[in-house]
Amino acid sequence: MALRGVALLCVLPLLPGCASTWEKSWLLKDSTPNISRVQGPTERRLRNLLWLRDQEDSDDSNSLKPLLGTEDYVAATDIYKDERYAEAQKAFKKVAKKYKKSDIREDALFMQAEAAYQQDHYAKAHDVYAVLLKEYPSTRHLDVVSERLFKIGRIWLDFPEVAKLGEVQQVNYDDPKRKLPAEEPTKSGGKPVYIPNFTDKAEPLFDTAGNGVAALQAIWMNDPTGPLADDAMMLVASHHARKGNFVEADRFFQMLRETFPNSPHLQEAFLLGSHVKLMSYQGAEYEGKTLREAKLLKESTLRLYPDIADKDRLKRELDQIDVAEAARDWEQVELWLRKGNKRAAAVCAHTLIDRFPKSSYAQKAREQLEALGPEYASGAVLLQSADPPKT
């Protein structure tokens, strides 16, 4: 009986619904492993080799076998430590090329890029960082690579900051196709993308700004959870907004809002995003989706950030959007009149009056309904069948 009692006690914790205190604590605890002290294979073996060089009398029976190419890598590292970066760059390049199938290549590529970076040869460094990320997307050097690419991208984009609303072209509500100049225009500089660069090793051969955007894009593509991902995306969106590439700016601002909802740039992404979306509007003759989306974004911005500094400006722009929407409705009235469809014109006119009763276009719609006749002005004709049966 005693044995049966012991067995029963052993089985009880395994029954469903009978989780013990220990089991609950185990289930609730964070199961994410701590990797703060985890080292890559190259680092472990290199550390072991360096330790052996300093401990000549130690027993190496339990040491890890050095990676193929470790001695050449250590020699290149010594050159780098002496700040002979040009020589070190060549040495690391040789190691990376010679030992392509060895794990040492990952570190050799990284150090080759670092040596170029220390010489301000940003174009070469960018190219090698790109190779490293392509071959080793989860490289343990990812944090440093992201920092380097962020600095390179900013240099090539002439050290941009997050755009301010006054730096972006303004909407011309009278003629949306013709944009108004920015209130605080930024300086224009840089050579045309088609002129090659043969002298400055800090810049790429062609299209410095385009390569700067690519460097920043590589950050959130390869390190989307890193601390610089949202910063890089915001700078790219701001760059396009300043340059008047409103469709691209709108795309990146929207991407930031959706991908990084906790970003400190979220407010600017709403504010500037609503502006560049409105800048994409071409006028009453074109599709009005962007106009509706811009209005929704501005309303969302005011709702989410009621104390925003640009609140009065947003309210004025919402009023102007209402005028633009009324103009679109009036355009429909005129379209049906040109086609001789009085009934459809009357429907659009009544819709305009209901949506924007205080607008100047509403007054035009009332006058047009009176001109069509009392049955159209009262709406009585709209209650009749559109296609009465033939007798």
* C-alpha distance from residue 267 to each of 216, 252, 253 (Å): 21, 14, 10
Residue 15 has a CB neighbour count (10 Å cut-off) of 8
Average pLDDT score over residue span 5-9? 47
pLDDT of the residue at 67 = 82
DSSP string, 191-210: --TTS--SS-TTS-SS-HHH
Confidence of residue 12 (pLDDT cuts 50, 70, 90): very low
Average pLDDT score over residue span 143-160? 93
| 129 in Cβ contact with 195 (< 8 Å) | no
pLDDT (tens digit, 9 = 90+) per residue, 56-112? 545 544 455 678 888 999 999 999 999 999 999 999 999 999 999 899 999 999 999
pLDDT (tens digit, 9 = 90+) per residue, 204-224? 888 899 999 999 999 999 999
Considering only 44-48, 139-143, 217-221, 333-337, which range has the smallest mean pLDDT? 44-48
Q: Measure the N-to-C terminal CA separation of the chain; round to a whole number of Å.
A: 102
pLDDT of the residue at 388 = 56
pLDDT (tens digit, 9 = 90+) per residue, 345-390? 999 999 999 999 999 999 999 999 999 998 888 888 777 766 555 5
pLDDT more than 90, % of the chain: 58
* 23, pLDDT greater than 50: no
What residue segments make up the domains of the chain, in order of their start?
A: 310-386
* 51, pLDDT greater than 60: yes
pLDDT of the residue at 299 = 95
Residues 6+ apart with CB under 8 A from 80: 88, 92, 111, 114, 115
pLDDT of the residue at 193 = 65
Confidence of residue 153 (pLDDT cuts 50, 70, 90): very high
pLDDT of the residue at 378 = 86
In the chain, the amino acid numbered 320 is: Q
Q: What are the phi and psi torsion angles at 120 (to 5°)?
A: 65, 25
pTM of the model as a whole = 0.73
Here the tokens at position 258 are: 């959706």
Residues 6+ apart with CB under 8 A from 154: 160, 212, 235
